[in-house]
Chains A and B, each alone.
Chain A
């Protein structure tokens, strides 16, 4: 398969892993945060950790939109699904995320009209096909998905489609990275920077991280070779005492970003003064709301939104895991009360959540390491 197999070539991967071992030496410890959930997933799925020397530690970042969404927002969104003649639509990732009263799938099993869509335009199509119903799209995601929500809203307005609305939960990545860097227990040496987000915002918004915080950052693709090559680039920067923004994912990420996408976002969205992030708390100017000129399509203004706030179970340590302070398996609930099948925290739900990735791909392995090595 073109554009995939080239980046999974075992020969090149083995050579890159050797290069990493050579650059990392044995004298110091490196802590790299991969910002995106997509990276976390790929690292586990391809067993990349097994290829890295012990002194390179990968810390999972906050870039999983499902994981950082506070439970209360899920309940708010689902409360709208209980209105008569309403179709609740969301991406598949959202379907098993628990609110205080159940997941979207559980609401569906109880009779709510809950449907998976693969794009917000699918939700718009549903609205056209069901003029007597109201179709609400539960929008989540970073700058990766926000432009498509924006374009969908622009189209709804142009068509005058009144039975469609968006419950907007879009967030932006830079404030989250700032929150992590400002956190007192933060101990990250460098960042494997966002890939898909950067296709929209470009590489410039990360410059302060390299300049002011002296942390190297490399925007990275999601194939095994992309991630390993980004680690090589970070090690080179650190060994040479440099800290700059570099773009490993040049085949997809333009340095200046995607202007058309940014224009659509700024036409439809404005920054919220503040927004709650699961595990990270309130972060100012970190999320998007729908502008007044699109108020008619804003579910928060069309419906009575209860504004539910649910605190996470006390024992759950999602915040510490999100900030990279704890490893997934160090959380008290991991693998016991909290499993992919019965997730307590959202990190366990999404395949990009670090807890789910760790549980699905590594947990059993780490709990029986000696035997496995003997067997393999």
Chain B
């Protein structure tokens, strides 16, 4: 038997910090520098939210996600709802319909049972809405003080929707960038729900299953659909930077076309945050061929929940590997991935 050469690890950070879980540059360094070389068979495939498994000719998508949001409940949703929708959405944007979920709970001793019950009910309801069954689970309890109330991990398996072939490598210059609705609602809602800022706003998390929107899009423009992703932690900026690096092309955004609610804009102005870096839980980005873009936008807007969809930019040959935003006045700026972590524990 031949012994595999020891993998060379590029991850050199001396300790784990919050930023490693924030979905930005540090997260990518950890995944690409430590997890991928040791765990993913040295695969050179661009890293997606869901992996592909072929079983006897059936193509399946598999994904997993952990939820550690604080507070557990917030306007528009709760940890239980996020745990179902997050995994359903990771499958949806990889072009798969969630079939079944497995769930693992890590509970802190002392957690009131009614809080747990409310979250389990929220999960059941979200699963019903998303049309997915929860088929297996596990429970662990840790000492009081060793976890923050409760954490949930969900693992989902889905059947790949026929006729879609999504990959950053099929993205081409001229392709249009579609966004399903206004950005930043979830991150700003969580930030305000913590009550650490003396600020209030009429705003709620956007957590939901995006599957109906994704299915409508696939039904209409499947051959012109190149790539999708839900811009959760790190926001639209981080997701598009990853795309730009993976497809080695440039992303050009037009600031005035990016939908952002006034409450989110206002909070970002006050706090010095960029809405492009704020997390979403119920939106997705899609890259579509230029010839399919108008039709794609039309069908999204005609589907309930997609009324706020917009074309926010296009793919360009340059700046390769980077995201450039044209401001309202024709000036431009580079938008980088999220560095550090402005709002820890948002999902």
A residues engaging B (CB < 8 A)?
1, 4, 8, 10, 13-14, 17, 41, 44-51, 92, 95-96, 105-106, 109-110, 118, 122, 224, 340-341, 351, 359-365, 368, 371-372, 374-376
Fill in one digit per residue for B267-296: 1 if any A CB lies within 8 Å of its CB, else 0: 001001010000000000000000000000
Cβ distance B148 to chain A, nearest Cβ, rounded Å: 15
9 A-B pairs with least C-beta separation = A47-B331, A371-B318, A50-B331, A361-B333, A375-B316, A47-B327, A375-B318, A13-B329, A109-B17
Does B329 lie within 8 Å of A17, measured CB to CB?
A: yes
Q: Does B110 have its Cβ within 8 Å of any Cβ on chain A?
A: no
- In the assembled complex, 8 residue pairs joining A and B whose CB atoms fall closer than 8 Å, in A order, are A17-B329, A47-B326, A51-B329, A96-B340, A105-B18, A109-B16, A341-B340, A371-B319
With a cutoff of 8 Å between Cβ atoms, the chain B residues found around residue A17 in the complex are 329
CB–CB A49/B196 < 8 A? no
Q: Separation in Å of the B26 CB from the closest CB of chain A?
A: 7
Closest to B326 in A: A376
0/1 string, B155-196, CB within 8 A of A gives 1? 000000000000000000000000000000000000000001
Residues in A with CB closer than 8 Å to B19 are: 105
Q: How far is the CB of A5 from chain B (nearest CB, A)?
A: 9
Say whether A46 contacts B318, CB under 8 Å.
no
> Do B329 and A365 touch across chains, with their CB atoms under 8 A apart?
no
A10 to nearest B CB, angstroms?
5
Query: In the assembled complex, how far is the CB of residue B344 from the closest CB belonging to chain A, in whole angstroms?
Result: 9
Known: A96-B340, A109-B15, A361-B333. A118 touches B317 (CB 8 A): no
Q: Which residues of B contact A45 (CB under 8 A)?
A: 274, 333
Question: Max chain A CB contacts within 10 Å: which of B17, B320, B339?
Answer: B339
Question: Inside 8 A of A368's CB, which chain B residues have their CB?
Answer: 318-320
Q: Are A1 and B329 in touch, CB under 8 angstroms?
A: no
Interface size on B, residues (CB 8 A): 38
Query: Taking A341-B26, A364-B319 as contacts, is the C-beta distance between A375 and B333 under 8 angstroms?
Result: no
Given A106-B17, A110-B15, do A46 and B252 touch, yes or no (CB 8 Å)? Answer: no
A47 to B17, CA, bound (A): 32
Q: Find A47's partner among B196, B266, B318, B333 (CB 8 Å cutoff).
A: B333
Closest chain B residue, CB of each to CB of A367: B319
> Could you tell me the distance between the alpha carbons of A319 and B15 in the complex, rounded to whole angstroms?
31
Interface residues of B in 297-347 (CB under 8 A from A): 316-320, 322, 324, 326-336, 339-340, 342
> Is A372 touching B318 in the complex (CB atoms < 8 A)?
yes
Q: Is the CB of B272 within 8 A of A47?
A: no
Residues of chain A contacted by B226 (CB below 8 angstroms): none
In whole angstroms, what is the CA distance A368 to B317 when docked?
Answer: 12
Known pairs A361-B334, A365-B334, A375-B252; A118 contacts B318 (CB<8 A): no
B322 in contact with A376 (CB, 8 Å): no
Q: Given the complex of chains A and B, what is the CA–CA distance between A199 and B236 in angstroms?
A: 35
Residues from chain A with a CB closer than 8 A to the CB of B331 are 46-51
Pairwise interchain contact B317-A375, C-beta atoms closer than 8 A: yes
**Cβ of B262 under 8 Å from chain A:** yes
The answer, yes or no, to whether B265 is at the interface (CB within 8 Å) is yes
- Asked if A362 and B333 make an inter-chain contact with CB atoms under 8 angstroms apart, the answer reads yes
From B263, which residue of chain A is reached at the shortest CB distance?
A1
In this assembly, does B149 line the interface, its C-beta being within 8 Å of a C-beta of chain A?
no
Instruction: Check A50/B197 contact, CB under 8 A, given A368-B318, A371-B318.
Output: no
User: Given the known A-B contacts A46-B327, A375-B252, A376-B326, are A363 and B318 also in contact in the complex, defined by CB atoms under 8 Å?
Assistant: no
| Distance in angstroms between the alpha carbons of A105 and B316 in the assembled complex | 37
Docked CA distance A318–B334 (Å) = 23
B18 proximity list for chain A (CB < 8 A) = 105, 109
Q: How far is the CB of A91 from chain B (nearest CB, A)?
A: 10
Cβ contacts under 8 Å, B25 to chain A? 341
Asked if A1 contacts B317 (CB within 8 A), the reply is no
Chain B, residues 121-133, CB within 8 Å of chain A (1/0): the string is 0000000000000
CA–CA, A52 to B333, complex, Å? 15
When distances are taken between beta carbons in the complex, the residues of chain B under 8 Å from A48 are 329, 331
Knowing A8-B328, A51-B330, A109-B15, the reply to whether A364 touches B322 (Cβ < 8 A) is yes
B322 nearest in chain A by CB position: A364
Q: Is B250 an interface residue (CB 8 A)?
A: yes
Q: A8-B328, A109-B17 are in contact. List 18 more A-B contacts (CB 8 A).
A: A4-B266, A4-B269, A10-B328, A14-B329, A45-B274, A45-B333, A50-B330, A50-B332, A51-B331, A109-B15, A122-B196, A341-B26, A362-B334, A365-B333, A372-B318, A372-B324, A375-B317, A376-B326
A371, B317: Cβ atoms under 8 Å? yes
Cβ-defined contact, B334 with A363, below 8 A: yes
Q: Are A44 and B318 in contact (CB under 8 A)?
A: no
How far is B22's CA from A263's CA once the two chains are assembled, in angstroms? Answer: 43
Q: With a CB–CB cut-off of 8 A, which chain A residues contact B316?
A: 375-376
A107 → chain B, closest Cβ, in Å?
A: 11
Which B residues are in CB contact (< 8 Å) with A41?
272
Chain A residues whose CB sits within 8 angstroms of the CB of B17 once the complex forms: 105-106, 109
> Which residue of B is nearest A122, CB measured?
B196
Q: In the bound complex, how far is the Cα of B265 from the Cα of A351, in angstroms?
A: 18
Candidates B26, B266, B274, B319; contact of A1 at CB < 8 Å: B266
Interface pair A375/B250, CB less than 8 Å apart: yes
Q: Are A365 and B318 in contact (CB under 8 A)?
A: no
Closest partner residue, chain A, to B323 (CB atom)? A364
List A contacts of B274 (CB < 8 A).
45
**Which B residues are CB-close (under 8 A) to A95?**
340
Nearest Cβ distance between residue B145 and chain A, in whole angstroms? Answer: 14
List of B residues within 8 angstroms of A109 by Cβ: 15-18
Alpha-carbon separation in the docked complex, A105 to B13 (Å): 14
- Residues of chain A lying within 8 A (CB to CB) of residue B26: 341
- For residue B40, give the distance in angstroms from its CB to the closest CB of chain A: 24
**Contacts A46-B327, A92-B342 given: A106-B262 contact, CB under 8 Å?**
no
Contact (Cβ within 8 A) B332 A365: yes
Closest to B333 in A: A361
Chain A residues, CB < 8 A from B15: 106, 109-110
Q: Which residues on the B side are within 8 Å of A49 (C-beta)?
A: 331
Asked whether A376 lies within 8 Å of B329 as measured between CB atoms, the reply is no
How far is A118 from B272 in the complex, measured between Cα atoms in Å?
A: 12
Contact, CB under 8 Å: A360 / B329: no
Beta-carbon nearest neighbor of B341 in chain A = A105
Contact A365 B324 (CB under 8 A): yes
Nearest CB on A from B271, distance (A):
8
Tell me which residues across on chain B come within 8 A of A13, comparing CB atoms.
Answer: 328-329
A224 to B266, CA, bound (A): 16
Closest-by-CB residue of B relative to A92 is B342
Complex Cα distance A371/B269, Å? 32
